[in-house]
Amino acid sequence: MTYVRSVLTAAKTIAIEQAEMPVTIEPGWVRLRLATASICGTDMHYFRHFANAGFQLDYPVTLGHEACAYVEDANGSALMPGQLVAINPVIACGVCEKCLAGDINMCATKRFPGSATTKPHIDGFFRQTFDFPAKCLTALPEGIDTDHLTFAEPLSCAMHAVNKAQVTTGDKVLVTGCGPMGLLAVVAAVAKGASVDVTDIKRAATQAALAVGAKAAYVAGEDDMGQLANRYDVVIEASGSPHGYNQALDACRKQGTVSILSLIQPSAVPIDLHLVALKEIHCVGSILYTSEFADAVALVRSRTVDFEAIIAGRFHVAETQQACELMASGAAIGKVLIKPE
Ligand SMILES: [Zn+2]
Ligand SMILES: [Zn+2]
Q: What percent of the chain has pLDDT over 90?
A: 96
Using the mean position of ligand 1's atoms as its centre, give its distance from the Cα of residue 298 in Å.
Answer: 18
Instruction: Tell me the DSSP string of 131-186.
Output: EEEGGGEEEE-TT--HHHHTTHHHHHHHHHHHHHTT--TT-EEEEE--SHHHHHHH
Q: What's the rounded Cα separation, in Å, for the pair 95 and 252?
A: 39
The whole-chain average pLDDT of the chain stands at: 96
Cα(289) to centroid(ligand 2), Å: 14
Q: Does residue 10 have a pLDDT over 90?
A: yes
Q: 261 near 158, Cβ under 8 Å?
A: yes
Residue 264 pLDDT > 90, yes or no? no
| Cα–Cα distance list, 288 to 46, 105, 333 (Å) | 17, 6, 22
The string of pLDDT tens digits covering residues 214-233 is 999 999 999 999 999 999 99
pLDDT tens readout for residues 109-152: 999 999 999 999 999 999 999 999 999 999 999 899 999 999 99
Average pLDDT over residues 305-311: 96
Q: How far is the CA of 173 from the centre of ligand 2 (A)?
A: 33
In this structure, which residues have their CB less than 5 angstroms from ion ligand 1? Answer: 40
In the chain, the domains with their CATH numbers are 2-150+306-339 (3.90.180.10), 158-285 (3.40.50.720)
pLDDT of residue 266: 73
**Reported pTM:** 0.96
Q: Find the ligand nearest to 103 CA.
A: 2
What does the pLDDT look like over 20-72, one tens digit per residue? 999 999 999 999 999 999 999 999 999 999 999 889 999 999 999 999 999 99
**Which residues have a Cβ under 8 Å from the Cβ of 152 and sit 6 or more positions away?**
66, 68, 86, 293, 296, 297, 300
Amino acid at 113: P
Q: How far apart are the first and last CA of the chain?
A: 16
